[in-house]
Amino acid sequence: MEKATFAAGCFWGVEAAFRQVPGVIATTVGFMGGTLPNPSYRDVCTDRTGHAEVVQLDFDPNKVSYEALLDTFWKIHDPTQLNRQGPDVGTQYRSVIFYHSPAQEAAARASKKRLEQSGAYSRPIVTQIAPAAEFWRAEDYHQQYLEKRGLASCHLP
């Protein structure tokens, strides 16, 4: 198993999308990239902790490549939106690829460069690529939030 961590807006929709990818074994929503130890959802929503809402994946690299996960990441959000996705606004909704190894960093940078060169977007891609930091698990009621409520998605592609 390997880990991957992505921030692409509200973690409920991001988690739901990644749970559909064959080879993703487990998903956990939480927070990464901030300064407050063990933040709560309420803390992060103040937009003062520096954390992003993230989904951390356990995946089987024999069944799904990291590059395929990156493709999913780019498809499920608008990487040109700075500190927002759809109606959600704040730094906690920023677009970030948190890498766990030099190979993931290289793949993320190459993937972003390909997307930039593709001309798919008229605005600059603002997605950050940063080393994975401490992961703080969100409260239980956030885990598989949409699935628990019988919803397929709340995410805006």
CA dihedral 115, 56, 147, 24 (to 10 degrees): 70
Catalytic site includes residue 154: no
Burial 53-63 (b: 16+ CB within 10 A, else e): bbbbbebeeee
Among 4, 7, 8, 10, which one carries the catalytic annotation?
10
Give the tokens for residue 128. 């950050």
Phi and psi, residue 93, nearest 5°: -105, 15
Cα–Cα distance between 27 and 29 in angstroms, integer?
A: 7
Give the tokens for residue 95. 């677009």
The SS3 call for residue 115 is helix
With beta carbons less than 8 A apart as the criterion, state whether 52 and 7 touch: yes
Which of the residues are catalytic? 10
